[in-house]
């Protein structure tokens, strides 16, 4: 069976990914800070007859992040699908925020995504198959005033573009999921009770992402309203992405790394 590793898997979109991938026959490695939530999601997924490994880790902590990195890089237990879903939002205007939560945004939304993806790609390329899903946000395109969180999500979209362009011919795919507002129960006072074009169901968002990944798309924006806006904003980026795909494979051949031992992962 293939194996998927999902970060931020204890609730919301991460839990929805776990359930969908379990139904698709993936064994799971579930990562989050909340061990109680992880055990609950793991138990629900295990009922579908797949193997579930729970790895409680705070991706803002370098030592705990390194443990997840080692699990992903373990060639004896390959990860076929990496879902970078964990996210942190300071929730305070940049001008008034303390440096510590701002740094946590960077550690979780940027550093962890970069490090875990870097750990996953060599094995995937070696096997000639594999996928990475980076869960960004619509805020990465149209950010709220003063939001540093939105800047980290814009980075995720650009990061996906950059790395995906270098994967032509490897059999490995990468996609940025760009959801709008999600009905997760986190903001009960804001979520409308009826249908709304502004609010999306996590299960539907995951289904759309898996479908677009299979189609070979680089960006998935579920919801008619969000998709219409992003399609307009993406027009110049699509042109650049096409050019990057055309040149990426040759550029990759010209810049092969010098063979050498993989550096040991240490924690401070």
The model's pLDDT over 6-29, given as tens digits with 9 standing for 90+, comes to: 999 999 999 999 999 999 999 999
| Interval 202-220 mean pLDDT | 93
Question: Taking phi first (over 0 means left), then psi (-120 to 50 degrees means alpha), and beta for anything else, what does residue 180 get?
Answer: beta
For 122-157, write each residue's pLDDT tens digit.
999 999 999 999 999 877 777 777 788 889 999 999
Name the more confident of 46 and 234.
46
- Alpha-carbon span 12 to 8, nearest angstrom: 9
Residue 31 has pLDDT above 60, yes or no: yes
DSSP, collapsed to helix, strand or coil, labels residue 247 as helix
Confidence grade of residue 92 (pLDDT, cut at 50, 70, 90) = confident
Say if residues 108 and 88 touch (Cβ distance below 8 Å): yes
Q: Does the pLDDT at position 258 exceed 50?
A: no
What is the distance of C-alpha 230 from the center of its chain?
Answer: 18
pLDDT higher than 60, residue 159: yes
Tell me the mean pLDDT in the region 196-216.
88
Residue 247 CB contacts under 8 Å (≥ 6 apart), including other chains: 165
Q: How confident is residue 188, by pLDDT bands cut at 50, 70 and 90?
A: low
Confidence band for 193, pLDDT divided at 50, 70 and 90: low
Tell me the two tokens of residue 6: 């999902």
Mean pLDDT throughout 92-110?
Answer: 93
Higher pLDDT residue, 166 or 267? 166
pLDDT at 172 over 60: yes
- Is the predicted pLDDT of residue 254 greater than 60, yes or no? no
Q: Which two tokens stand for residue 140?
A: 């990465």
**What confidence score (pLDDT) does residue 266 get?**
42
pLDDT at residue 179, as a whole number: 86
* C-alpha distance from residue 58 to each of 50, 65, 108, 234 (Å): 25, 7, 9, 33
pLDDT > 90 fraction of the chain, expressed in percent and rounded: 62
Q: Give percent of the chain above pLDDT 70.
A: 79
pLDDT digits (tens, 9 = 90+) for 53-80: 999 999 999 999 999 999 999 999 999 9
Q: pLDDT value at position 12? A: 92
State the pLDDT confidence band at 93, using cuts at 50, 70 and 90.
confident
| pLDDT value of residue 164 | 92
> What pLDDT was estimated at residue 185?
57
The chain-wide mean pLDDT, for the chain, equals 85
């Amino acid at each position: 069976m293939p194996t998927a590793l999902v970060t931020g898997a204890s609730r919301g979109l991460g839990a929805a990914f776990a359930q969908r991938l379990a139904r698709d026959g993936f064994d799971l490695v579930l990562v989050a800070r909340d061990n109680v939530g992880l055990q609950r999601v793991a138990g629900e997924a295990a009922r579908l007859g797949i193997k579930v490994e729970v790895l409680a880790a705070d991706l803002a902590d370098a030592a705990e992040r390194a443990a997840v990195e080692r699990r992903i890089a373990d060639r004896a237990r390959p990860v076929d699908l990496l879902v970078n879903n964990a996210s942190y939002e300071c929730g305070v205007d940049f001008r008034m925020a303390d440096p510590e939560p701002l740094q946590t945004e960077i550690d979780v939304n940027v550093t962890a995504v970069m490090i875990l993806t870097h750990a996953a790609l060599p094995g995937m390329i070696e096997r000639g198959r594999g996928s990475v899903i980076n869960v960004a946000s619509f805020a990465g395109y149209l950010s709220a005033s003063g939001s540093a969180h939105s800047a980290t999500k814009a980075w995720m979209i650009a990061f996906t573009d950059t790395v995906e362009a270098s994967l032509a011919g490897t059999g490995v795919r990468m996609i940025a999921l760009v959801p709008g507002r999600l009905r997760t129960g986190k903001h009960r006072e804001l979520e409308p009770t009826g249908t709304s074009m502004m609010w999306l169901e996590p299960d539907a968002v995951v289904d759309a992402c898996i479908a677009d990944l299979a189609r070979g798309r680089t960006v998935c924006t579920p919801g008619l309203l969000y998709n219409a806006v992003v399609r307009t904003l993406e027009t110049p980026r699509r042109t650049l992405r096409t050019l990057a795909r055309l040149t990426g494979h040759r550029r990759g051949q010209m810049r092969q790394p010098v063979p050498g031992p993989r550096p040991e992962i240490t924690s401070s």
